[in-house]
Amino acid sequence: METQAQAPEQPQIYLTTPPTFELARFTEQLARVLDAEEIACVRLDLASRDEDTLSRASDALREVTISRDVALVISDHIVLAERLGLDGVHLTDAMKSVRNARKTLGADAIVGSFCGASRHDGMTAGEAGVDYVAFGPIGASGLGDGAQAEVELFEWWSQMIEVPVVAEGGLDDDAIRKVAPFTDFFGIGDEIWRTEDPLATLQRFQSLMT
């Protein structure tokens, strides 16, 4: 997952899986997207906490990503990431130990942290050595405490902080247009997977990012 200090002219795409999916069908969808578009990273983000389910999904997705030279990370499961040989871990709680993940997975692993709409949590994660910080949701959401990551947060971050930033959650056309000048990555998941043609939806989103 290549990162850079300044937001690029067009943000890179960081795909997240749906919370549940039929393995064979989803791997076909993912392969189609990866073959058509340049994707920086894929995150396995299953709601399941069953180790066998997570392991089988990881193995199947890795077959798709590794042959296309795309990084594969998993949400939260540091031990599984190490055991399965994944590229890293995405911590969904900013309070979780970045240093523990780094110690377990090594210096070359990808370690990222979701920080909601909190500038403070983002800065703390950055100081702890994450490869990226994710803020969101961007659009209005009834989830969590309802806090929304405003465009001003991304604008400030892109000007002041070198740690790359991901915008994710609640993405729609208007949010993508507003945040695109100030983010390094868009974390895109159900926004495309729940549509009839995920690749076409992704390509439409990309047209809004320029």
Q: Which residues contact 86 (CB under 8 A, 6 or more apart)?
A: 44, 58, 62, 72, 73, 74, 80
pLDDT for 3 equals: 44
Q: Which residues pair with 113 in a beta bridge?
A: 91, 133
- Identify the pLDDT of residue 95: 77
Query: Partners of 165 in the beta sheet?
Result: 133
pLDDT for the residue numbered 4: 44
The tens-digit pLDDT sequence of the chain (210 residues) is: 544 444 457 999 999 999 999 999 999 999 999 999 999 999 999 999 999 999 999 999 999 999 999 999 999 999 999 999 999 999 998 777 899 999 999 999 999 999 999 999 999 999 999 999 999 999 776 556 678 999 999 999 999 999 999 999 999 999 999 999 999 999 999 999 999 999 999 999 999 998
Q: What is the pLDDT of residue 1?
A: 57
Looking at residue 47, its pLDDT comes to: 96
**Of 10, 6, 3, nearest in space to 209 by CA:** 10
Contacts of 209 (CB under 8 A, 6+ apart): 10, 11, 176, 177, 180, 186
Domains and CATH numbers, the chain: 12-207 (3.20.20.70)
pLDDT of residue 97: 87
